[in-house]
Chain A
Amino acid sequence: MAQERKIKIIVAKPGLDGHDRGAKLLARIFAEAGMEVVYTGLRQTPEMIVETALQEDADVVGLSSLSGVHNYFFPKVVQLLKDKGLDDVLVVGGGIIPTEDVDGLIKAGVKGIFGPGTDTGEIVKFIQSNVRN
């Protein structure tokens, strides 16, 4: 009998800063919402994140950045996913992201951007309603 489908999400922390409290907390929140969360740890390059998404057949990639690398990292992840044919993977981002950067990121294919104050329930809902079937 077919099992209920579960959302599989990669939570990754690109960049060189050594804080992953936020990313870990998000991982736990997604798991509590019933998702299967692959937590990858610190200092991930876009290549590592995309290879992980490929092997894990992830539905969603959640990126968290505090160190100001989002303008390079987030679009790069989207691009690499496309290159691998993984166009239907939902990419969302969070962390400390200035409002003037948001438009550019959305244009680059990041589907949702969530600042530090965002209610986590809102992020979960966004993912649930935008994930591929």
Chain B
Amino acid sequence: MSTDYAEDVLQGSTRAAARLITWLKNEDDRAFPCMEKLHAHTGRAYIIGITGSPGAGKSTLTDRLTHAIRQSGLTVGIIAVDPSSPFTGGAVLGDRVRMSQLSLDPGVFIRSMATRGFLGGMAKSTADVVKVLDALGKDMVIIETVGVGQDEVDIIGIADTTCLVLVPGLGDAIQSMKSGVMEIADVFVINKADRNGADQLWTEVTGRVEQDHQIKPRSWTPAVLKTVAVQDEGVTDLWEKIQAHRKHLEESGEFIEKRRNRTRQETLRMIHNELFRIVRARLQDTGQMDRMIEEILERKRDPYGIMRDIVNTWLCIPANNKETP
């Protein structure tokens, strides 16, 4: 392996991709020059999000879906996220247990990631890791989020097609409707359809989708389907629905619009993070931060005025140049 990891990733090096992902996770500065180089080679991969309650069968489905995708000749990258312990900072990443057979397929790359305290069902660097797998040449990238129930909504910002996995008998549908998680799904998967209550849940969700559709007309009607992941039932149907959704996005122009929004948010977030980092470091290193805090506490100054002063100083806006509303 050379020292040019970006070049190695473009040549298909698993090892270079794996190391680059580690750097991204650790927010190691060495990652950024590589990511700059890779950018021109990204944007090809289609991104699928798999989300749903803990134990709903996300990993098992991801495994089966990947087999189906491989049958059609496409390659797959998988990002499987599990929670870090808030107490020890450690994590048991167990999603691979369900994907054992995939580890020897050269057309599949699997990476387990811990959330490291990041909320929203994913790891902080997930979007960047997607880009690495994209540049590595994977046609499809599947993200399995943490099974946290109510909090997986962030996936919608990254995935092109979001699949929400529900299970009969967990009160899943009702919970999801309340919390707004229903809104994020392009495909509803009722997994463990071998269990009692699957038909009832299907009717419930379908009804809800139709009703929702009347209230808020959207161009895509979410698909609702049943699977038994452990027996590989319904998985071809799932793959077809994902492809249908992709076709819809591409033909309606929503695909490019989605990516435009994502790029806008991502770019703004990066600028925000970097500006904040620089300003904070400077305020801390010069001791100005501590002085400001004391002045605010002693009521000599107020945080609003200080905020304005700092922004003006850093953006070189003269004090008399008040912004007009």
Contact = CB atoms under 8 A, between A and B. Distances in A.
B88 A39 contact: no
Interface of B is mostly: mixed
A36 B104 contact: no
B19 interface: yes
Contacts of A8: 22
Contact of B90 (A35, A55, A86): A35
A6 B96 contact: no
B18 A48 contact: no
B25 interface: yes
Residue of B18, B92, B100 ringed by the most chain A CB atoms within 10 A? B92
A38 B103 contact: no
Given A38-B96, A54-B14, A32 B90 contact: yes
A79 interface: no
Interface stretch (A23-31, A67-75, A98-106, A107-115): A23-31
Contact of A57 (B21, B98, B110): B21
Contact of B116 (A3, A38, A43, A44): A3
Contacts, number: 90
Interface residues of A, number: 34
Contact of A48 (B21, B26, B98, B100): B100
B104 A39 contact: no
Interface string B228-244: 00000000000000000
A24 B22 CA distance: 24
A104 to B, nearest CB: 28
A88 to B, nearest CB: 12
Interface of A: 1-6, 8, 27-28, 30-41, 43-44, 47-48, 51-52, 54-57, 84-86
Given A6-B90, A35-B90, A48-B100, 16 more contacts: A3-B116, A5-B26, A27-B92, A31-B85, A34-B89, A34-B90, A39-B92, A39-B93, A40-B103, A41-B100, A44-B100, A54-B14, A55-B103, A55-B111, A57-B15, A57-B18
30 contacts: A1-B27, A2-B26, A2-B29, A3-B26, A3-B116, A4-B89, A6-B89, A6-B90, A31-B88, A31-B91, A32-B85, A32-B88, A33-B88, A36-B91, A37-B92, A38-B96, A38-B112, A39-B92, A39-B93, A41-B96, A47-B104, A48-B103, A48-B104, A51-B104, A54-B18, A55-B18, A55-B109, A56-B18, A57-B18, A84-B15
